[in-house]
Amino acid sequence: MIDDYLTPGAYKVTKGPVTLYIGLSSGSLTLTGTWPANGSRLAIVASAITGHTNCGSELVPGTVTINGTAISFKQAGRKTSTATLTALPTIVTANLDCNLVITVLDSGLSPIQTETSTAINTRIEPHQSGYIDASGTWTTINDTQIFSDTSLVVNDVVRKNTRDYTIKQVDDNPDLGGEVAYYTYLA
């Protein structure tokens, strides 16, 4: 029934760092994705996981070699490459048996973000509410109400046309049987 009131054309927007590799350190790494236009360096995070706990040591440092330049790991942690990159590099590891996450940084060493859009059905309407504060002053709040059958959480982003709405409040609307029929969001 709520489906009769929802229309296509909106998207749930998920942002995350451009990640080239997530997995075990194993000799020559196979990178995924493409090099972003404003990419400059890499962030490498080495972490121990069950059964794979060697992230290097003082006696035998592990290395991650990027286009011939070695980065030494004596323990789990995060390191940043020093050479400026313009394309997907060749990465080889040695003396490591741990998990690696490799992401792309810009020239200011901030993670480069990528967006993934998932189509959702919504109804978006203006919403007004208000309250009287302790001094007796009436305050009006104008925001946007979004109805959808897609589950979202606070801080998720919904894009309709060129406008982004950040979810500030979530309410579910169960039917008589207790099943959630749709959600109401305030943005």
pLDDT at 2: 64
**What is the rounded distance in angstroms from the CA atom of residue 97 to the CA atom of residue 103?**
19
pLDDT at 3: 67
pLDDT at 187: 74
pLDDT at 1: 56
pLDDT at 148: 87
Structural domain spans, the chain: 2-14+117-186, 19-111
pTM: 0.69
pLDDT at 89: 96
What's the CATH class of domain 19-111? mainly beta
Distances (CA, A) of 171 to 41, 78, 109, 163, 182: 42, 39, 38, 22, 9
List, run by run, the mean pLDDT of 10-residue segments along the chain (187 residues).
Answer: 80 93 91 91 94 85 94 94 94 94 95 92 88 88 86 91 90 72 75
